[in-house]
Amino acid sequence: MVYQPDENRYQRMAFRRCGQNGLKLPAISLGLWHNFGDTTQVENSRALLQRAFDLGITHFDLANNYGPPPGSAERNFGRLLQEDFLPWRDELIISTKAGYTMWEGPYGDWGSRKYLIASLDQSLKRMGLEYVDIFYHHRPDPETPLQETMKALDHIVRQGKALYVGLSNYPADRAREAIDILNDLGTPCLIHQPKYSMFERWVEDELLEMLQEKGVGSIAFSPLAGGQLTDRYLNGIPADSRAASGSRFLNPDQLTAGKLETVRQLNTLAEKRGQKLSQMALAWILRNDNVTSVLIGASKTTQIEDAVGMLANRHFTDQECADIDNILNS
Ligand code: NDP
């Protein structure tokens, strides 16, 4: 059956301006790092994208290496885009990235002009797109001059292969330098994509303030710490969970008794607020106006519904914020 999106899709979602730019992003965006590779049934991936778009999630985030195997998430997304979403291309913000190892030899990694331009061409082919909305440099390269990497991003925008560019995983000082270079080149940086959750708060030290000062947006990746900041692991490790999947990014050893005790206390606080822990964890990130969007992952459509349900209760009292800090610091 031909997919028809929900007519009310824009009534539930909140859209937030990306820094001082014209673009607005949904408060919740969907990442395709997991559950879109060749090891996932394509019908599950299709259901996730459709449910997300029906609920007003207009932003899908990819990278050249998402899979497994690397490249397959873009290829599978391209197929679903052709089959279901092509009439709505102009309602979507599609991002991809290059910066991690993608192919063998010296030109398939890091931040050279050679790598970034070739990688984006490959990504566009895999997705069947003429342009992406946002192209990111995925991680800072300690060896390539920043000027070269930023000039490559500027070139890509001027070629029309990306509408905007962004940085990911850049520490504050390097990001500031990159943003200044991009401004000088006439291609302002749209957004920074850092890891940010209750368990990883490094962005609060300096990065978010600097981005606000420069008018650059931000999108927090892994806001649920890969599922740890949910009720998923409160009664053991479910067979269909990320921690049980053999992922090197979330393994059972990380779910220590101390970590689970913290999660239990946060869960109790969320219940008092009348929401799930996953919802409180997302709302807590968005309490900060400097954060444009939370970039979630999902293996089930119900998880996307949970995330969007959070929008009904985003306010925190000072006492609740203090309680969360106390739990996280204990
Ligand atoms: P999250 O922290 O949101 O973790 C998502 C996982 O949490 C889901 O796959 C699911 O795991 C579990 N989960 C989600 N909702 C619920 C719920 N309501 N109840 C219980 N469990 C839930 O994000 P990810 O780590 O997946 O990262 C999100 C995106 O961020 C990526 O897809 C990618 O786009 C981006 N990213 C960017 C990086 C970068 O370097 N720029 C690096 C990493 C990610 P389960 O499988 O157990 O169901």
Q: Tokens for 141, please give them.
A: 């390269």
E strands, the chain, are 15-17, 24-26, 28-31, 59-61, 93-98, 132-137, 162-168, 189-193, 217-221, 293-296
pLDDT tens digits for range 259-312: 999 999 999 999 999 999 999 999 999 999 999 999 999 999 999 999 999 999
Closest Cα to atom 34 of ligand 1: 31
pTM exceeds 0.80: yes
Q: Which of 25, 170, 42 is nearest to 97 (CA)?
A: 170
Q: How far is the CA of 229 from the centre of ligand 1 (A)?
A: 10
Helix (H) or strand (E) holding 86: none
| Cα 214 to the center of its chain, rounded Å | 21
Residue 104: predicted pLDDT: 97
Q: Tokens for 78, please give them.
A: 């391209």
Decide the pairing of beta strands 162-168 and 132-137: parallel
pLDDT tier for residue 247 given thresholds of 50, 70 and 90: confident
Is any ligand 1 atom within 6 A of the Cβ of residue 137? no
Q: How far is the CA of 298 from the centre of ligand 1 (A)?
A: 6
Residue 246: predicted pLDDT: 87
pLDDT tens digits for range 158-190: 999 999 999 999 999 999 999 999 999 999 999
pLDDT tens digits for range 67-111: 999 999 999 999 999 999 999 999 999 999 999 999 999 999 999
Is any ligand 1 atom within 6 A of the Cβ of residue 19? no
Rounded Cα–Cα distance for residues 16 and 29 (Å): 11
User: Does position 248 have pLDDT exceeding 90, yes or no?
Assistant: no
